[in-house]
């Protein structure tokens, strides 16, 4: 899991026909007035984030166990 704080932008308004949009790093969630939710993935941003996370992990040291 990523430990950095996610950047989110919420666009909201008031009224009967309100569409709520929450935009994150690699996912945009749109909630329509009828209650349906649409998810839009940014595949490139997701891949970049996962690649950075993998690159940031230090490999574990191999222990040299003596066999008897």
Where are the domains positioned within the chain? Answer: 9-56
Backbone dihedral region of 15: left (phi > 0), alpha (psi from -120 to 50 degrees) or beta? left
Rounded to two decimals, what is the model's pTM?
0.57
**What pLDDT, in 10s, does the model give residues 34-60?**
889 999 999 999 999 999 999 999 777
CB 7 within 8 A of CB 24: yes
């Amino acid at each position: 899991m990523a430990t950095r704080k996610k950047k989110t932008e919420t666009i909201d308004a008031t009224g009967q026909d309100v569409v709520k949009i929450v935009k994150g790093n690699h996912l945009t969630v749109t909630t329509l007035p009828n209650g349906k939710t649409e998810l839009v993935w940014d595949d490139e941003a997701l891949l970049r984030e996962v690649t950075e996370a993998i690159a940031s992990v230090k490999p574990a040291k191999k222990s040299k166990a003596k066999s008897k």
